[in-house]
Amino acid sequence: MIREYAVDPDAYTRNLDVLQRFFTDFRAEQGRVVSAIPRNWIKEQQKNIQKMGLKSIEKRRCFDKLKEISLVSGITVPTDIQEWIEQARYAKKNSDIQAIITSATDENNNEYDYANMLFTQPENWEISQTKSVDRNAHSLAEAISASLSLAEVAMFIDPYFHPSDDRYRLPFIAFLNRLSSGRCPCRRALVYTAIHEGKTRADLQRGLTEHVQPLLPAGFEVELSIWPSNQMHDRFVLTKQVGYSFGHGLDEAAYQGAIEVNIHRLAETARQAEYRKFSNTAIRQGDPIVIVGT
């Protein structure tokens, strides 16, 4: 539900129309994120925009827009590779970059001219906002695996989460495995849940210690916070780049005829709102429960 692209600064700063299209095309809410190539990506973009002859206020708006573009780092390109296209080719060979967006087309090597993309687009350019998957651990985690592999930290929001119950724990561990083996890799996950159906803080503590901690990679930290039940309704997985809502839950349902889960990629405003909401420690009930893999 999200794909990463290497995008040549020269390809989209040739004129204002193309630049505006770039700001629309490459956003996490559109399912397309930009790999941080070349080195010092933001500075390189600003340099190119400076040359476009824009007014001061227009330049400032462009610089602000750049900050909204979801950048993905974690690729180390050898310092002796100086040309942008060679840096991009190296990165694509050694990572999961979907395509290279540049000023020339070479479809055999997944390189596309941004000015001509109305007629020639990379494979799978259109990315659906919603996806329905089977309600099992593998399908749930696989649907957002690219996002998890690029995350530095992840939030899991589920008012019904219970670490002692297989149907919640198995998907959670599947998510964590993709986080911990990603490019960064991520070393921390935050869980937000509420007290429901007789579940107690002691139950959550015991479930995390006995059922989750033994499965964690060494050094991986899980922090669980308890929230008031009336402040939690929907289920989300959020990272700093992208967010998803899970329409029918983050848990497994193994019985025959179980309804599929609708996973919806959030608009950036919605992701930010949820991220800020659950970053507010004042609403938390008591101190968080923290476990670390050994």
The per-residue pLDDT of the chain, averaged, comes to 91
- Amino acid at the residue 84: W
pLDDT band for 53, please (50, 70, 90 cuts): confident
pLDDT digits (tens, 9 = 90+) for 75-124: 888 989 989 999 999 999 988 899 999 999 999 999 999 988 878 889 89
pLDDT band for position 256 (50/70/90)? low
User: What residues does 99 pair with on adjacent strands?
Assistant: 5
Tell me what the mean pLDDT of segment 171-186 comes to: 91
For residue 159, the Cα-to-chain-centroid distance in whole angstroms is 21
β-strands 111-113, 99-102 pairing: parallel
Question: Considering only CA atoms, which of 106, 114, 83, 126 is closest in space to residue 12?
Answer: 114
Q: Which of 162-171, 182-191, 247-256, 257-266 has the highest mean pLDDT?
A: 162-171
The residues pairing with 96 across neighbouring beta strands, listed in sequence order, are none
Is 238's pLDDT higher than 90?
yes
pLDDT at 182 over 80: yes
| Encoded amino acid at 291, one letter | I
Q: Round the CA-based radius of gyration of the chain to a whole number and report it.
A: 21
- pLDDT tens for 111-123 read 999 988 878 889 8
Average pLDDT over every residue of 165-183: 94
* Residue 291: predicted pLDDT: 98
Cα 157 to Cα 171: distance, rounded to the nearest angstrom: 13
Peptide bond into 288 cis (omega under 30): no
